[in-house]
Amino acid sequence: MIDGMSERTIALVTGANKGIGYEIAAGLGALGWRIGVGARDRQRRDTAVEKLRTAGTDAFGVPLDVTDDASVAAAAELIAGHAGGLDVLVNNAAITGGVPQTPTTVDPATVRAVVETNVIGVIRVTNAMLPMLRDSASPRIVNMSSSVGSLALQTTPGIDMGPVPAAYLASKAFLNALTIQYVKELGDTDILINSGCPGFTATDLNGFQGVRTPQQGAAIAIHLATLPDDGPTGGFFDDAGTVPW
């Protein structure tokens, strides 16, 4: 284990009932951590918890709808009561809003829904969990972003990011900006906060069109969640290193 983190490190992964979120939970659980499986669908959440437990992970279910204030507040209370605290938060829950989704045709309601989950949901969950994270010896926050939210890559000649849904792309750029602001505000704490890109991963989020497995996509989150105390903060990373903002 890394310095400052015991074998009883406690992590919450949002959207952990399937795909990349599940593999993040599995990867962190394999380290001997206790994992809160955050998900709003009860059946999928229970199934994921049972599967993780069968594999040897100390997992527990956390009913969590990141778009609902009461749900998030109840999740924080559950974690405090059930696990006694929180060391690592992985904000993984996200939606695309569906396709096609061009700027000239996208329904404003779709944009609102995507931002509500992908950005405001991160704010809601992070702020609710922050008191516990402040009490941790080695707290970490990982915001699962995407390179499609990189303004630098989107505007670099010769780089084709593909027909990315406009609302989803904007939400990830928004999330990256939010990550930076959290780092600035919490700069006097020990919390390491970073954005991570899983790469083009095959999940139901993109109709399983990606070229990477969910396990491969989870690797960057696991890396950022287990950074040493002198590790980076305020960065945007993928498996190859730093992603330009």
Render pLDDT for 161-179 as a digit per residue (tens, 0 to 9): 877 789 999 999 999 999 9
Q: Provide, rounded to the nearest whole percent, the portion of the chain with pLDDT above 90.
A: 85
Q: What confidence category does residue 10 fall into, taking pLDDT thresholds of 50, 70 and 90?
A: very high
Q: What is the pTM of this model?
A: 0.93
Q: Give yes or no: 168 in active site.
A: yes
pLDDT digits (tens, 9 = 90+) for 205-239: 655 465 578 899 999 999 999 999 999 999 999 99
Query: In this model, does residue 1 exceed pLDDT 70?
Result: no
pLDDT digits (tens, 9 = 90+) for 123-155: 999 999 999 999 999 999 999 999 999 999 999
pLDDT digits (tens, 9 = 90+) for 109-125: 999 999 999 999 999 99
Q: Which of 45, 64, 125, 168 is catalytic?
A: 168
Which two tokens mark 31?
């380290």
